[in-house]
Chain A
Amino acid sequence: MASVAQMQSGEAAVEDRLVSNRGLWSDAFRRLRKNRPAMVALIVLSLIILLVVTSELFPFVQRHDPFFQDYARDANGELNSIHLGPTAEHPFGTDNLGRDTWSRVLQGTRISLQIGIGTQIVALAIGLLIGGAAAVGGRFTDSILMRFTDLTYAFPDLLFIILLRAVVAGRDWPVIGTGDPQIPYLEGPLLQVTLAIAFTSWVTIARLVRGQMLSLAQRDYIVAARALGASEARVVFRHMLPNTLGPVIVAVTFGIPTAIFAEAVLGFIGLGVPIPTASLGRLVADGYSFVELNAWVVAFPAATIALLMLCFTFLGDGLRDALDPRTR
């Protein structure tokens, strides 16, 4: 018994020296704060989210109803509120139906963030589970899970998406359709798009996690921890998973804007979020028709996507550096 206790305390000591897990998160936060680009990105992102949230609550932020179609006419009887460039009244201009682009972009940003983050939550959960289990679960589990991963990955997602749409569109089913109850901030129609995009994006994370963990499994400190008798669960959750987080966070931060893109592409081939609700992707895809007539209607949503992309990238980088105690 004593020897076991000794070994355990010995293991703890080795562990502390190898990975300073104890202060991981507070250390990480301290390091993150020193990272200027990441902090700027975090502030900008927070501002965007604040703006998006308040626009729903306070009319003076949104200024116009994003659904209102303005068919006002000038003295000559011409429609004078459609396809406007930026004006004082409409800072981002108006679209082909006379709707205010500023309020549409605010709404679109909210929808896109919900899709982007929702997709990554789903993908992360599945990816970590499957990738991790494959790496530590032994040969048979690994084989089965990786073949399943191959199957999903090699599967024609477009067909899946069209079928999903055909089956669930217009149904009043709970959660996934339009019926009650709904997941807050991820209503049925959005959830459909989210699941469609997550359907393949988890594979990348799963493979990344597995590759990383297989590589980690051979590292000296893991071997040492195992040799010192640490339980499998302990090795996995205390040593391997946290050390997989770096590349996974890079993948996820890239994954959010990638999902926003993916939704734009779905919109482009006619499978985006349901109208009149607009995501940034849908705004860009719709505006694309008018790019030579009124480039503003593409430029503002596209610039917003780019801004989100930059923010998530810098933030992801900062997080990666901060979370990985070995990179200083």
Chain B
Amino acid sequence: MTGYIIRRILWMIPLLWAIATVTFFLMHAVPGGPFASEKPVPETVQRAINARYHLDQSIFEQYGLYFWDLAHLDLGLSFRGDQDVLTILKDGFVVSAQLGVMSFLVAAGLGMGLGILSALNRNRPMDYAGVFIATIGAALPSFVLATFLTIIFAVHLGWFDVLGWEFGNYRKMVLPIVSLSVLPMAYIARVTRASMLEALSQDYVRTARAKGLRDQVIVVRHTLRNALIPILTVLGPIFAVLITGSFIVEHLFAIPGIGRQFVTSVQARDYGVIMGTTLFYATVVITANLLVDIAYAVVDPRIRYR
């Protein structure tokens, strides 16, 4: 197991390198440069600006330069205000992670609770109600939901703020968390319900039931543990997605998170920030997947990694 984990961690290096390389060439292949759609400027001026940012060098020279700096843990500068990319990432991630973790807790807690309730009350009104709630909540695109929530609860009722995020200030926390967690909550509820039903139908659960064990005990001791595998498969990526920031929610609440930085940087061709956010995002996702795989082994001792 330890060997497996070490090998997986070592794997991350070539994987990140591959992602960074593909991203590097891809982003330079996309038409338009960081200063292309600014005010039309004479070509001579464009050349001077390119020289300032080393954009006049060949793509391979730029590639070499970037990876040389990267090897020295220097992520470079943003075209926006020459800010340090590492600082942009750090500041953005702190905000996105706060919002993401809160939303994850809400989504996982409510989603699994709803899923278990539905499964235990299969084909009864409780089940349909659970499915219905989960589905309706997720049936509106998040930007529509966030917009309606804002209009009702912030503009008209004045309970919450329209703008920003501040940890500990409920006026700025509730709407973004609700908007962000509804869709994953519904998904988690669905998967939980499905895999609980699957686990409940296993022979040993029937046996345990036949032996007269109380329902709760069966659920906790036997079923949930087995039902966890498919749930973990979705929880890992959902966690990774949530803490790396949602463009939509950060855009609609003007939250300075990393999701917004990424989209803005792609749109602005801010190469340094694109590379930085991509590497960061990739690291988080790969780590989350690794953690899921390890968690598999923990909840299901029959899975062996060599």
Contact = CB atoms under 8 A, between A and B. Distances in A.
Partners in one complex: yes
A158 B266 contact: yes
B190 A163 contact: no
Contact of B303 (A156, A162, A214, A317): A214
Given A159-B26, A208-B233, A261-B141, A314 B285 contact: no
B33 to A, nearest CB: 13
If over half of A's interface residues share one DSSP class (helix, strand or loop), that class is named, otherwise mixed; here it is helix
Contact of A160 (B26, B142, B277, B286): B26
B191 A321 contact: no
A279 to B, nearest CB: 12
B258 interface: no
B247 A218 contact: no
Interface string A289-315: 001100000100010011101100110
A163 B26 contact: yes
Interface stretch (B14-22, B54-62, B210-218): B14-22
Interface size class of B (residues with CB under 8 A): 35 or more
B9 interface: no
Interface stretch (B39-47, B75-83, B128-136): B128-136
Contact of B19 (A151, A264, A320): A151
Contact of B31 (A151, A166, A207, A265): A166
Contacts of A305: 139-141
A246 B198 contact: yes
B31 A154 contact: no
A22 interface: no
B175 interface: no
Contacts of A147: 11, 15
Contacts of A306: 136, 139-140
A288 B198 contact: no
Nearest to B32: A166
B306 interface: yes
Given A154-B19, A326-B201, 12 more contacts: A37-B128, A150-B15, A153-B289, A158-B266, A204-B237, A214-B296, A247-B194, A247-B195, A284-B141, A291-B147, A310-B135, A327-B198
Which 7 residue pairs of A and B lie closest in terms of their CB atoms, listed nearest first?
A: A306-B139, A154-B282, A218-B302, A309-B139, A154-B285, A327-B201, A326-B201
28 contacts: A153-B289, A154-B286, A156-B262, A158-B262, A158-B263, A158-B266, A159-B266, A163-B29, A163-B30, A204-B233, A211-B232, A211-B296, A214-B296, A218-B302, A247-B195, A257-B139, A284-B144, A285-B143, A302-B140, A306-B139, A309-B138, A314-B131, A317-B194, A320-B194, A324-B198, A326-B198, A327-B197, A327-B198
Interface of A: 37, 139, 143, 147, 150-151, 153-156, 158-160, 162-163, 166-167, 203-204, 207-208, 211-212, 214-215, 218, 246-247, 250, 254, 257, 261, 264-265, 268-269, 281, 284-285, 288, 291-292, 298, 302, 305-307, 309-310, 313-314, 317, 320-321, 324, 326-328
Interface of B: 11, 15, 18-19, 22-23, 26-27, 29-31, 128, 131-132, 135-136, 138-144, 147-148, 151, 183, 187, 190-191, 194-195, 197-198, 200-202, 229-230, 232-234, 237, 247-248, 262-263, 266, 274, 277-278, 281-283, 285-286, 289, 296, 300, 302-303, 306
